[in-house]
Amino acid sequence: MSRIALHASSRGILTRARRMSSSILEHSPVSTGTPHTSSSSTGMMKVFLLSPRIIVGLVWEKLGRARAVLALLLMLALVVPLHSAPAAALSSSGRMIIGFLPYWMAGSWDPSSAHYTDVVFFSAPVRGDGSLDLSRVEQHQQDIQRIRDQCGCRVHLAVTLFDKDTADKVLAYHRIELANNIRSAVLSYGFDGVNIDFEFMRDKNKYTGQDNTDLMIDVLERLKNSGIKVGIDVAGSVETVWRDARLQSYVDYVFLMGYDYHYAGSKNTGSVSPLESSGISLEWSINKLLQYYPASKIVLGLPLYGYEWPAQSCQPGARTEGSGHAETLKYIENSILPGATQHWDPTARSPWLSFTSGGTCRQVWYENATSIAIKADYALQRGLAGFGFWALGYAQGSPSGEKIDMLVESRRSPPSIGAVRISVEGSEITVKLENANFVSSIRLEIPVGSGVQVESYSGGSFQLARLSAAVQGGVLIVEANASEPFPGYGIHGSGVLATITLSGAPSTGNPSAEAWAHRLDANGGTMSVEASIGEVSLEHPGGGGGGGSGPGGHHGGSWGITYTPPVSPTNRAPFLGAGMTGLAAIIAAIAVAVFLMILKFVF
């Protein structure tokens, strides 16, 4: 049996399936009578509700009271678990890629541009009595339904409160009303969960003197007990109210707002979302959050906007002269960038622009597709649940927009390769990949024996930044790196990775496909896999038939080792809640009917 070691990683770091398959909370859409429940699903539910009445009468008549009670208890044991099972849950091997959709962009954002796992509609403001202002939800019902239909994602409602005095009042006196109103809104409008966006909160409640964390836990616990999926938003400074490990028991995810590290009122120019810095940064914020929450519940938020400031000079970090203002990524790249000088901050991993207007230097700091890809992958390498953006629509129509959509698609699941095919003809080895999913780095180790050297090699159909092939210690090592982070940003699809011509006969006689195959099979051992790889095999060129695998199988179409990883469900959780519940009810009713027929004969 041949030994083939293949290493695949994202951004050049060896990534084992167990690392890149970051665990994530399981989200189940609400399957109560929501506005988007289909009529066909309702029909199936009616079948489920009426059938037991008929069955009960028949059972009572045929079996007698004692036996009928026994049969009905068994029927409930079968039906209840099927009826109450979650309708659609995200696989634990999936990721969260969240997009916040502000109401002012709801009508123009194209939900088919990229398949986010979750979209958060922004927002329903909280009033001082704990009630919600749902006017924006009412106004954009058609847009929200369009997103559900076209995106295939979970849609959550953002509940917002940005005034510390109002927050204190609500948490002191209206916690029950707040929790009840959130639950009612989520169920009534068919949302899949709530996103709590309370900012600028005091540590201590000014009315009761209690810790606001304790009061917030009371609200979150009520929501959790009612079955509502809950996310919270936390600023980069990680406000004290959110620094409590108890909170992790009541939230399904924590959205780190990884932006506004420099903002409109900053005294100096700088990155809006610095990966590293001398002050607080994304790295600092993530490390702080990890003290209180598991990585599997943290989602890194990134900005699709930037700030423009008047500055004292065109040097990075210069003092600002007056307040800055925010601009969308689309406006920055389409309207400002063409007439500006481009720069890159290697510490923050952020682009920035400078230009002069009216004798004053103006600086624009923002994030583009390149910097966003670096930071999104950093989050995944840290084992976080995923990443997301404020705000959807801000990049649409910009040069970076299409690349960001590609990033969303490519990072919905860990890098993987469906199959690696190694064919041998004469002294030439061809390596083919099938169904590669945005893999940035690949390393192949193929034992070829001593005395063998690489004569030449060339790439195939993939866009690569680097390709190398060399024999070391009798092992042919093939390494490939994709262009990063764009264009392409990952080896994707199917095709020839490399063609390598070797010199030096692997065995006596002239090199041939059969001789190379024997050489590869003769170097037995175990296969090392460091990625999600569907199949690895050696192929006889032009072969066919049933050669099988392992030594002696050289006359068939393939030989060597086959590796099949655990089946990984799709990351997109479709909205099949009511329909699947109704289908389960029908199946349960049929099963019960069959069971009763058996009981009839037994008793």
- Three-state secondary structure of 341-383: EEEEECCCCEEEEEEEECCEEEEEECCCHHHHHHHHHHHHHCC
- Give how far Cα 24 sits from Cα of 138, 414, 565, Å: 31, 13, 19
Which DSSP category does 207 fall into? T
> Helix, strand or coil for residue 443?
strand
Cβ pair 422, 446 in contact under 8 A: yes
> Helix, strand or coil for residue 389?
strand
Residue that is written with structure tokens 């960038």 in the block: 337
Q: What is the CA radius of gyration of the chain?
A: 29
What CA–CA distance (Å, rounded) separates 404 from 168? 39
Cβ pair 395, 401 in contact under 8 A: yes
Identity at 374, one-letter amino acid code = I
Report CA dihedral (435, 440, 445, 450) to the nearest 10 degrees. Answer: 120
> Helix, strand or coil for residue 87?
coil
> Helix, strand or coil for residue 334?
helix
What CA–CA distance (Å, rounded) separates 466 from 300? 30
Separation of CA 240 from chain center: 28
Which positions ≥6 away from 601 have C-beta within 8 Å? none
What CA–CA distance (Å, rounded) separates 484 from 465? 8
What CA–CA distance (Å, rounded) separates 271 from 292? 26
What CA–CA distance (Å, rounded) separates 483 from 439? 10
Which positions ≥6 away from 269 have C-beta within 8 Å? 262, 309, 311, 316, 317, 318, 320, 352, 363, 365
**Averaged in consecutive runs of 10 residues, what is the pLDDT profile of the chain (603 residues)?**
43 29 28 33 32 46 54 49 34 76 96 91 98 98 95 95 98 98 98 98 98 98 97 98 98 98 98 96 98 98 98 98 97 98 98 97 97 94 96 96 90 82 80 86 79 92 92 87 73 92 62 46 37 48 32 28 31 30 54 63 57
Determine the straight-line distance between the first and last CA of the chain, rounded to whole angstroms. 58
Cβ pair 350, 341 in contact under 8 A: no
What CA–CA distance (Å, rounded) separates 190 from 36? 7
Residue 438 confidence (pLDDT): 84
What CA–CA distance (Å, rounded) separates 52 from 589? 8
> Helix, strand or coil for residue 384?
coil
What CA–CA distance (Å, rounded) separates 337 from 131? 44
Residue that is written with structure tokens 């866009």 in the block: 463
Strand 154-161 relative to strand 194-198: parallel, antiparallel, unpaired?
parallel
Task: Encode pLDDT of 171-227 as tens digits.
Answer: 999 999 999 999 999 999 999 999 999 999 999 999 999 999 999 999 999 999 999
Instruction: Report cis status (omega within 30 of 0) of the bond before 123.
Output: yes
Residue that is written with structure tokens 């060896």 in the block: 14
- The residues with which 7 forms a beta bridge, in sequence order, are 443, 530
Structure tokens at 506: 């692997």
Residue 599 confidence (pLDDT): 58
The CATH topology of domain 5-21+415-559 is Immunoglobulin-like (2.60.40)
CA dihedral (283, 285, 288, 291) positive or negative: negative
The CATH topology of domain 103-109+122-215+225-250 is TIM Barrel (3.20.20)
What CA–CA distance (Å, rounded) separates 592 from 586? 10
CA dihedral (323, 326, 331, 337) positive or negative: positive
Cβ pair 408, 321 in contact under 8 A: no
Structure tokens at 520: 């590869």
Domain extents in the chain: 5-21+415-559, 39-86+576-602, 103-109+122-215+225-250, 258-412
Is this prediction's pTM over 0.95?
no
The string of DSSP letters for 235-287 reads: ETT--GGG--GGGGGT-SEEEEE---SS-TT-SB---SS-SS-SS--HHHHHH
Cβ pair 205, 211 in contact under 8 A: yes
Cβ pair 536, 563 in contact under 8 A: yes
Separation of CA 283 from chain center: 20
Task: Encode pLDDT of 288-323 as tens digits.
Answer: 999 999 999 999 999 999 999 999 999 999 999 999
Phi, psi of 49, rounded to the nearest 5 degrees: -75, -30
Residue 445 confidence (pLDDT): 80
> Helix, strand or coil for residue 296?
helix
Which of the four CATH numbers 3.10.50.10, 3.30.70.2860, 3.90.79.10, 1.10.3720.10 does domain 258-412 have?
Answer: 3.10.50.10
Instruction: Report cis status (omega within 30 of 0) of the bond before 487.
Output: yes
Task: Encode pLDDT of 477-514 as tens digits.
Answer: 899 988 767 656 788 889 999 999 988 755 444 344 44
Phi, psi of 480, rounded to the nearest 5 degrees: -140, 140
Residue among 312, 329, 307 at smallest CA distance from 262: 307
What CA–CA distance (Å, rounded) separates 220 from 226? 10
Separation of CA 480 from chain center: 25
Q: What angle do CA 251, 256, 257 make, to 5 degrees?
A: 130
> Helix, strand or coil for residue 309?
strand
Cβ pair 168, 205 in contact under 8 A: yes
